[in-house]
Amino acid sequence: MSAKIVSLINMKGGVGKTTLAIGMAWELAKTKKVLLVDIDPQFNATQWVVKADIYLDWVKNKHTVLSIFQPNGPAGFHHGNQAAAFQKPTPVTSIIHVQHSGSELHVLPSTLELMKLDAAPRGTENRLRVFLERVRSAYDYILIDCPPTASLFSYSAFLASDAYLVPVKPDPLSVLGLPLLDKAMLDYEERSGQELPRLGLVFTQVRQTEAMRTTMDQVRREYPGEVFDGQIIQTTGVAEAVEDNSPLQSFHKTSALLRAPLAKICAEFTDRAEYV
Q: For residue 78, state whether it binds Mg ion (rule: CB under 5 A).
A: no
Q: Which of 128, 199, 232, 265 binds ligand ATP (CB under 6 A)?
A: 232
What is the C-alpha to C-alpha distance for residues 266 and 23, in angstroms, rounded to an integer? 9
Q: For residue 171, state whether it binds ligand ATP (rule: CB under 6 A).
A: no
Residues between 178 and 207 with contacts to ligand ATP, criterion CB under 6 A? 204-205
Beta bridge partners of 167: 202
The stretch near ligand ATP (CB under 6 A) out of 70-78, 118-126, 152-160, 234-242 is 234-242
From 160, 252, 169, 158, select the one nearest 203 (Cα to Cα). 169
Residues between 79 and 118 with contacts to ligand ATP, criterion CB under 6 A? none
What is the C-alpha to C-alpha distance for residues 189 and 212, in angstroms, rounded to an integer? 31
Q: For residue 67, state whether it binds Mg ion (rule: CB under 5 A).
A: no
Residue 81: contacted member of Mg ion, ligand ATP, none (CB under 5 to 8 Å, by partner type): none
From 19, 12, 13, 15, select the one nearest 143 (Cα to Cα). 19
Q: Which region, left, alpha or beta, applies to residue 122 given φ > 0 means left and ψ of -120 to 50 means alpha?
A: beta
| Cβ–Cβ under 8 Å, residues 61 and 84 | yes
Q: For residue 17, state whether it binds ligand ATP (rule: CB under 6 A).
A: yes
What is the C-alpha to C-alpha distance for residues 128 and 142, in angstroms, rounded to an integer? 12
Binding mask 38-77 for ligand ATP (x = CB under 6 A): --x-x-x---------------------------------
From 136, 191, 134, select the one nearest 159 (Cα to Cα). 191
Smallest distance, Å, CB 84 to Mg ion?
25
Binding mask 31-50 for Mg ion (x = CB under 5 A): -------------x------
**To 10 degrees, the CA torsion angle through 93, 140, 17, 259?**
-120
Q: For residue 169, state whether it binds Mg ion (rule: CB under 5 A).
A: no
Q: Which of 13, 74, 76, 172 binds ligand ATP (CB under 6 A)?
A: 13
Binding site for ligand ATP (CB under 6 A): 13-19, 40, 42, 44, 147-148, 204-205, 232, 234-235, 238-239
Binding site for Mg ion (CB under 5 A): 17-18, 44
